Amino acid sequence: MNYALITGASKGIGKAIAFELARRKYAVILVARNEILLQELSATLRNQFSVEAEYFAIDLTQKGAPEKIVQFCVEKNLNINILVNNAGYGLSGAIDKYDLSQHTDMMQLNMNVPVTLTYLLLPQLKLQQAAYILNVASGASYQAVPGLNIYAASKAFVLSFSRGLNYELKNTSVSVTALSPGATDTDFANRASVTSAKAQKLAKQFNMQPQEVASIAVNGMFARKAEVIPGFVNKLAVFFAWLLPKKLLEKSAAGIYDL
């Protein structure tokens, strides 16, 4: 039996992707920090869709966390053909608003964990007749975002890493898809400590639902697309990020985040 391993699976887009894959009768391995939420979700998926749903609770910012996930899968003989690197978060405000360790923990989760899990699982994925990696980047991947600076930079890394890796693996059974969602109705703003009224208002105006994003993402992944941008507004925003002068975009973003 093949499994889809999903990080950040207890909430938001990760949880929605778990539902979407389970609905399509894929067995799942759910990874996140909150064991209670993972227990509840795994039970729900088993009961609702009659699929296998394993879970592993761990703080992915901890040293060696990806290796522990892989070891868990090896010990339980769980064969993986889908890897969803979804776990991540942002921090809103100027760089010196936070301790350095808060930034480095975020960078560890957003960048190092996807690379490490991909590296560790790639030999197994290459053995599959068809295998998929879905890396969750962001609409913020396409420009510098003062006020959400390090987060945007980390997601630009994810986007670049995904596209480059997809090309490297073009002659294998493994495809790599970068998902770049815009505003989505998740807990992201609270986790990122977004206090700007303008940012909160814009998010509410353009929020997509996680279920919609997940459906588009999974469809794009199985279609082996290198890049998926869900929603017309988000596609338009990416186009303008390419078209407009960088200083104008940065000034606009800084205004949204009260800088």
Q: Round to whole Å and give the CA distance between 168 and 119.
A: 13
Q: Round to whole Å and give the CA distance between 5 and 27.
A: 9
- Determine the length of the chain: 259
> What's the distance, Cα to Cα, between the start and end of the chain in Å?
51
Using a 10 angstrom Cβ sphere, with 0-12 exposed, 13-18 middle and 19 or more buried, the burial of residue 68 is middle
CB-based contact 154:110 (threshold 8 Å): yes
Q: Round to whole Å and give the CA distance between 177 and 64.
A: 25
CB-based contact 110:7 (threshold 8 Å): no
Active site residue 119: no
Q: Round to whole Å and give the CA distance between 176 and 239.
A: 22
Q: What is the dihedral sign for C-alpha 248, 236, 82, 189?
A: positive
- In one letter, which amino acid is 188? F
Catalytic residue (choose from 3, 26, 55, 151) = 151
Which active-site residues does the annotation give?
151
